[in-house]
Every structure is written in C-alpha cells, then in structure tokens.
Amino acid sequence: MRNASPTDDPVVQLVTFFVGDMKLGVNALAVERVILPEEMVSLPQSPKYLQGILKLEGRILPVVSLRKRFGLPPSEDTAHERIIIVGFEQGRVGFLVDRVDLLAKVPFSRIESAPSQIRGIDAGYLEGVADLAGRLVLLIDLARILSREERTQIVPMPTEGP
C-alpha cells in the first residue's frame, strides 16, 4: 500500500450550518458572504418560504427561510440566525439559517452520493453526505433549493444603488 499524497484526494471547503436539527453544508465557493439578519420587510402574497426582503449595498435582496422551505416550525431561538448570501444568474438571494457552524475542509473521498431513497423525495438540491467528526452533514446546492421559476419570481432585476 502506497502513501497517499495530499494531491491524491482533493479537498472541498464547506460552510456548515444548522436548520433545526439538520446539519447542512454548502460548497464555500458558492457563498458570497454570511451576514447578521437585518430588519426585513415582509411582502404580502409572497411565497410562504420568502422571509422578506432587505436592502444590502443599495440593492434589494430577497431572503428565503430554509426553515419554512423545509416545512419546519419557526425557531424560538433567533439569536444565532444568519443569512448566507449566494449569487445566481438572476441576482443574489439570502438564505436564513438557524446558525452557521464552521468552515470545514473535507477530503473528496469522504463525501458520499446521496442515497437514492433520499433523492426520490423531491430533494434535487441534495448533493451528498459527508462525515465530519462523526456527524453526518447533508451537502446541498443552494442554487437548486429554488426552481428556476421560483428564483425568477422572487429575485428582482439588478438595480443600481443610490
């Protein structure tokens, strides 16, 4: 058996976070930044998963609650909530999560494909599962949490700031 060099197993950098009891991870390259929640404006007759909108750097940013998207009840503890900002071709979207955990480096060999039973449950956003220090982390693609049509409905056209 030969000694493996670091280049034999590429490393994926993840931003890990919690939504309810679920520990989730997203490729750090997809994340523009993580911010503290600011005052948001609710929109009447908007999709249930849309937490609201806020103004960030002169642009309107829709914020999707992953709790609501996953059908979970509201959290009683909002002190650690964060917004993970991701860019799409239509613009940026914020995803409200219960708590951002850490930035983790995971060898690609420790990431397993999502089981077929899970993929069949309308979970096209699920990319795989990783074991981080004995805890399973569901790896998701935030770009696929919303369908293209849903993103088009909630992401305003980019506008210039004041």
Q: What is the DSSP string of 113-147?
A: PPPHHHHTTT-TTEEEEEEETTEEEEEE-GGGTS-
What is the enclosing helix (H) or strand (E) of 152?
helix 148-154
Q: How far apart are CA 115 and CA 129, in angstroms?
A: 9
Least confident span in 108-117, 118-127, 137-146: 118-127
Domain boundaries along the sequence of the chain: 9-154
Q: How far apart are CA 53 and CA 56, in angstroms?
A: 10
CATH match of 9-154 with 2.40.50.180: yes
Least confident span in 16-30, 97-111, 119-133, 138-152: 119-133
> pLDDT band at residue 87, thresholds of 50, 70 and 90?
confident
**Structure confidence by residue, pLDDT tens digits, 31-56:** 999 999 988 999 888 889 999 999 99
pLDDT on residue 162: 46
Are the C-beta atoms of 130 and 114 separated by less than 8 Å? Answer: no
> pLDDT band at residue 6, thresholds of 50, 70 and 90?
low
